[in-house]
Structure 1
Amino acid sequence: MPAYSAEQVPQPDGASVYIEAPMKRVGVDHQIAESNGYEIRIDANGIEYAIKKGAIAPLDEVSGTCGTSFVYWTSVDTSKHSATIYTGHTIYSSFPGAIYTDWAVGVIDSYGSSTKNWHDPSTPTHFWAKNHLFTSSGSGWAYADVLLGSIATLSNGTICFAGSPTASVYL
């Protein structure tokens, strides 16, 4: 079981599940921040944050949570043991949009494991999502996990780390 607090909201058909977890600020990409006119400061928790050069900011009041990450499993055809994984993130409006997403979802079932990776540059966006069709070799439970290390890099250089939500569905 994951060590974070995530909310599981079962869908009415019982064959789908949506899980989300908070994304945390873990630092700043200095090159992106500086090239976009930001300077780096350190908050009360020792975590770097970016602020427009010359701006006056309230001391140590940068939220550690920058958004939410999610994974949504929905069965497509249980007789063929297939489901769709829909995954992504929402960045809070108090932060600038993501310009790059480096994301991975691991899938494990009784027949093996696989990983789906996305390395996605984008125009600044507050919502990013992708889907992937998954087919198992047989019936049983399958688990999808946003893997540790999945991040969104914001236009001010802030790096938001995915909360690693995990969902399961019976195929």
Structure 2
Amino acid sequence: MQFRASLRAAVVVAAMLVAGGLSSAPAHAADPTVQPDPTSIYIEMDMKRVGVDHKIAKANGYEVRVDSNGIEYAVKEGEVTTFDEKTGTCGSSFVYLTAVDTKKHYTSIYTGYTILPSYPGAIYTDWAVGVIDSYGSSTKTWSDPSLPTRLWAKTHGFTSSGPGWVYADVLLGSIATLANGTICFSHGPSARAYL
């Protein structure tokens, strides 16, 4: 499980570095068998299906139903289903901190999500990461409309006012709205790094 998470981290970080025009990834990202040190931590957790945006569902040919847990889900209009159960997990989200320059107390925050293949891609993302260190707190936000996508990843720099631990948390209310109207919700994960 740890190897799979490390491998996924390596792939995501490498893709973001290439997309961002950077030339190299952290040493442990290139080799998933190397354990990360306190200056570079990657955490991932499940995203949950919490409902449906009815306007988006209808506009794209879906109807809204309710499962046995009372949570709405979308199916193609007229689709016959034999049961009203649907997994609550719609994807996974991540946050990853890597210390870029510990002398200057600078880190990069990588965050994003992957949508499961059984769901359509996301068409809108409303995301926030809270950052806390010994010197204060701030929030990094993204609001992105996009073509349907299964992988969304962003980065943001952060500089601490001095040495110490920095904590980053995907905040309550961070969502991906999928092409069928499904609202895929993340609270957490969180990560930390020492600067």
**TM interval, short-chain normalised:** over 0.9
TM-score, normalising length: structure 1: 0.93
Alignment match, 1:112: 136
Contact 1:24 1:163 in 2 (8 A): no
In structure 1, runs of 5+ residues without a counterpart are 1-6
**Partner SS state of residue 131, structure 1:** strand
Deviation per CA, 1:13-65: give whole Å up to 9, x if none. Answer: 51201001110000000000001000000001000000000111231231100
The equivalent position to 2:81 in structure 1, one of 57, 66, 74, is: 57
| Matched residues, number | 165
Mapped to 1, the partners of 2:79 and 2:187 lie a distance apart of 30
Mapped to 1, the partners of 2:187 and 2:140 lie a distance apart of 17
Pair 8,38 (structure 1): closer, same or farther in 2 beyond 3 Å: closer
Q: CA deviation at 1:163?
A: 3.5
**For 1:66-85, what aligned pairs fall within 5 Å after superposition?**
66-85=90-109
**What is the SS of the residue equivalent to 1:56?**
coil
TM-score computed with the length of structure 2 as normaliser: 0.81
Which of residues 40, 43, 50 is equivalent to 1:26? 50
Structure with the higher helix share, 1 or 2? 2
**Conserved in 1, the CA contact under 8 Å of 2:122 and 2:177?**
yes
**Offset from partner CA, 1:105-156 (integer Å, 9 cap, x none):** 0000000000010000000000000000110000000000000000000000
Q: Which runs of 4+ in 1 moved over 4 A?
A: 7-11
Identical-pair percentage: 67
Instruction: Considering Cα pairs closer than 8 Å and 6+ residues apart, tell me whether 1 or 2 has the greater RCO.
Output: 1
1:91 matched to 2:115: yes
Q: State the partner residue of 2:182.
A: 158
Q: Distance in 1 between matches of 2:5 and 2:178?
A: 27
**C-alpha distance 8-95 of structure 1, shift in aligned 2 (>3 A):** closer
Q: CA RMSD in A?
A: 1.6
SS in 2 for 1:22: strand
Structure 2 portions without partners, runs of 5+: 10-27, 29-34
Which residues in structure 2 correspond to 1:141-156 (within 5 Å)? 141-156=165-180
Corresponding position: 1:168 with 2:192: yes
Cα distance change, pair 46–13 in 1 and its aligned pair in 2 (3 A): closer
**Structure with greater strand percent:** 1
Who is 1:3 aligned against? none
